[in-house]
Structure 1
Amino acid sequence: MENYPFISVIVPIKNFERTIEKSFQYLFNVDYPHDRWEIIIADGGSTDKTVEIIKEWQKKYPFIKLVEIPDCPSPGYARNKAIQSVKGDFIFFTDADCAPCKDWIKIMLDHFKRDPKIAAVGGEVYTLKVDPDNLVEAWCQHFRFNMVSPRYGFIKEG
């Protein structure tokens, strides 16, 4: 891709101190120029060390923005609040327990490049497994979620 549009990646989060650093590692391995994106973390009122961890990462990576939303009712609400502060031409969503593949952004942008009438794209989601004894993490790692969500879900959440 010759042109690199500026993009915004939104990550809704609440009490994800176990996975946020590993999630950041995956995000920073994505093959896309770091000066052409921003990462907006929408914290929904974490009570663990999530916010402290994010603030430490912000010192090293100034393109990470933190939007704090106390008493946030849902991840959808957090996403909608974060959208209010995006600067990107395209908005990407992921979660704090996901592992985006290296070419995630380029693959998604290629769809828009091929057909400008496309309004949204999605793909498979790979979740992180940080606790080898956690059966839910083990199950989710083998189940690929589809990112296409019904529109009414976002409307009801927001």
Structure 2
Amino acid sequence: MKSKYFVSVIMPIRNEAEGIEHTLKTLLEQDYPQNRMEIIIADGQSDDGTIEIVKAFASQYPLIKLINNEQRIVPTGLNKAINISNGEVIIRVDAHSVYPQNYISRLVEALDEYQADNVGCVIETIPYNNTSLSKAIAIALSSPFGVGNSSFRVGVEKPVEVDTVPFGCFRRDVFDQVGLFDEDLVRNQDDEFNARMRKNGKKILLIPDLKCQYTARKNLKQLRRMLFQYGLFKPLVNYKLKEVSTLRQLVPLLLIIYTVLGFVLSFIHPLIAVLYTIGLMFYLIALLMVSLVQALKHSKILSMWFYLFLSYPSMHYSYGWGYIVGLRKLLTGCKKSVEFTISR
């Protein structure tokens, strides 16, 4: 394996005791030479045993470095890791994922092959466990009905320039020219950073021949919380960029507006009530059909259909409601991550 570049792999974590060992093993088993890479883990003050696991690995593998991320949020962890890194290429990874043996080498190769500034792979979302609910959540997170035209989630057939990629493999000079990750964004910091890259003429590429496995949330409560937070921080991202980065983010918002406003207006005139009902029925029929078609691919048809039927609206309405809460916060003067972060 050619090792033209020294690579810094950076990973922000907090309370990842369940999966960090498996993730680290897949990074240590890479076909990229270990003497040409480092793994910097920024821990957000974990209290579940994560630190002890990482320290055990670091004692055996000098390329693993553990640093403290006192602020406990992803962008500060990323920035701290970048600032102490030595790599000519910086690869951002996630503790919820499992990486194929050629992950680092293929991303580094693709940077030069396609003259890109940031390269990412397709995410293969896998269930948290073997239950019908976990399988349904994983399917919903990989379906166009669930996530729209998010290319890295639904897949592509050939290398394509995109608005964002999962995690990312960056040339170091990108950070010198564009800046670091925005520390006001607890969520969506990757989207905002990639949008800044595009504004500066940088090339972001998604390649289809490399996939990493991402473990989905284990229940509907966690799924709703994740999507709510994604929606919550999107208005702040748009405010910072002074534009709506993608149109797909507005669909859940419009669904919420249609559901609530249509219900209120339906009392004004019978025609509005009819049109409102037709619209909701269209969504319901689409939800039923998509869930049924995907459930037919699995043996537990009834339970799978039921959980898919619950997963999709959980995603749509949670994201949409988060977006509305984010808009309200933005309009009332909240422009910092601490002001956006709310318990839910």
Number of residues of Structure 1 aligned to a counterpart in Structure 2: 155
Contact 2:13/2:43 (8 A) holds in 1: yes
Which protein is bigger by CA-based radius of gyration?
Answer: 2
Q: Deviation per CA, 1:71-128, whole angstroms, max 9, x where unpaired?
A: 32x2122111211110011000111110111111121112222244x21111123467
Q: Deviation per CA, 1:33-75, whole angstroms, max 9, x where unpaired?
A: 1111000001011111000110011111111000111232x21
Structure 2 distance, partners of 1:154, 1:18, is 33
The answer to which structure has the higher helix fraction is 2
Identify the residue that residue 11 of structure 1 maps to in structure 2: 11
1:119 alignment partner, one of 117, 120, 126? 117
Give unmatched runs, 5+ long, in structure 2: 143-151, 154-164, 169-189, 197-236, 238-336, 338-344
2:137 alignment partner, one of 114, 136, 139? 139
Structure 2 distance, partners of 1:20, 1:60, is 16
Letter in 2 for 1:4: K
Identify the residue that residue 150 of structure 1 maps to in structure 2: 191
Give unmatched runs, 5+ long, in structure 1: none
3-state SS, counterpart of residue 84 of structure 1: helix
Identify the residue that residue 242 of structure 2 maps to in structure 1: none
Structure 2 distance, partners of 1:36, 1:11, is 17
Identify the residue that residue 65 of structure 1 maps to in structure 2: 65
Task: Give how far 1:6 is off.
Answer: 0.8
Structure 1 distance, partners of 2:191, 2:11, is 19
Structure 2 distance, partners of 1:77, 1:31, is 29
Structure 2 distance, partners of 1:89, 1:71, is 26
Structure 1 distance, partners of 2:53, 2:127, is 19
Higher relative contact order (CA 8 A, sep 6+): 1
* Identity score, percent: 30
3-state SS, counterpart of residue 87 of structure 2: coil
Identify the residue that residue 95 of structure 1 maps to in structure 2: 94
3-state SS, counterpart of residue 120 of structure 2: coil
Letter in 2 for 1:120: N
> Bigger CA drift: 146-155 or 37-46?
146-155
Query: TM-score if structure 2 supplies the norm length?
Result: 0.40
Structure 1 distance, partners of 2:123, 2:98, is 7
Alpha-carbon RMSD across the aligned residues, in angstroms, is: 2.8
Contact 1:8/1:38 (8 A) holds in 2: yes
Contact 1:98/1:126 (8 A) holds in 2: no
Letter in 1 for 2:191: P
